[in-house]
A = this chain, B = another copy of it.
């Protein structure tokens, strides 16, 4: 080979380095370290107070060999604090990673750790075949699996609460709720969004719509937040029955599970259930129209490849187009928090 080891300019300017490549290529190390910490209940344990490396080794039943590196890696990753040898939670860890707090978002990370991390190991195969790389490879259906086992269902519903928590608070703040009296959350899971809306807006009453098996989880979550007076559960399969009627319908992390025809069907059914002047809100990690900025949205779409037969994520423009086909008079995209945006359609 006669190619130069470095092209002109590299050596003198150092402008082109492999740093960013290597950092991304090994980003799974830090990611898995956090996921293992959540799995081990580290943040829940530290919510009771700071502990040193020896106490943590004993209480988490770890081997001494790797524990200090594990804890200090979490310090360097910004996920723990350490003062004079005592490890403690960051403010965000204390709030969002303590299993006993209702603000816990770790359910999604537990699912990522137990299921998605190994399934993503087969990403290349998924890209080659176009087929899911999860339980479906053993001929099983993800949603059948989830709804058949109470343990998996509990984990999945908590994961959805974690996934939607930030968006739920943002929707409560950013949508003009003063103009509406009622809402129905389609595919509500535990009801993290209904709870956020009802807490922020005392004039609202809301429905959580989901499969009958979800009802006790929803009612327990609503009761726990003292909101069972204004929140009720409406059981049903959103492909089989009409959607409940309300001033505002919301679908979060629902549309991306399905192929384009089922997406259109769900939007049409929402349109049919709304009064004139009513609104449909779709929220998801909506991909930017140029498809070059929202990496999380694009990766979530690859996650739908791993997890479903036809699902994919979409841009605001894609969604606005489906809204217009269904008859909505206007559709606009508004950013929420992090990678999430909402698309609002007015009937």
Q: Which residues of A contact B (CB under 8 A)?
A: 1, 3, 5-7, 10-11, 15-36, 38-40, 61-67, 69-70, 72-73, 75-79, 82, 91-93, 95-97, 100-103, 105, 108-109, 112, 116-118, 120-121, 123-124, 126-131, 162, 165-166, 169, 195-196, 199, 224-225, 287, 291-296, 298-299, 301-303, 305, 312-313, 337-338
Contact = CB atoms under 8 A, between A and B. Distances in A.
Contacts of A15: 91
Contacts of A32: 28, 120-121, 123
A95 B18 CA distance: 9
A75 B127 CA distance: 17
Contact of A302 (B25, B29, B31, B169): B29
Given A17-B92, A65-B305, A75-B291, A299 B24 contact: no
28 contacts: A5-B103, A10-B95, A15-B91, A16-B91, A16-B92, A16-B95, A18-B92, A18-B95, A18-B166, A19-B338, A20-B92, A23-B338, A24-B77, A24-B78, A24-B79, A25-B108, A28-B31, A28-B117, A32-B120, A33-B302, A36-B124, A63-B131, A64-B130, A65-B312, A67-B127, A72-B292, A76-B292, A118-B121
B108 A5 contact: no
Contacts of A67: 127
Q: Which of A96, A127, A287, A294 gathers the greatest number of chain B CB atoms within 10 Å?
A: A127
Contacts of A36: 123-124, 127
Given A19-B337, A65-B305, A73 B166 contact: no
Contact of A61 (B118, B128, B292): B128
Contacts of A127: 36, 40, 62-63, 66-67, 70
B121 A62 contact: no
Contacts of A337: 17, 19
B27 A302 contact: no
Contacts of A39: 124
A131 to B, nearest CB: 8
Contacts of A225: 5
A97 B338 contact: no
Contacts of A69: 298, 301-302, 305, 312-313
Nearest to A80: B292
A239 B25 CA distance: 32
Given A65-B305, A73-B302, A291-B75, A27 B21 contact: no
Given A23-B338, A26-B112, A76-B298, 19 more contacts: A18-B166, A19-B166, A22-B109, A22-B166, A24-B34, A25-B31, A25-B112, A27-B30, A28-B32, A29-B296, A30-B295, A39-B124, A61-B128, A63-B128, A65-B130, A69-B302, A72-B298, A77-B295, A118-B121
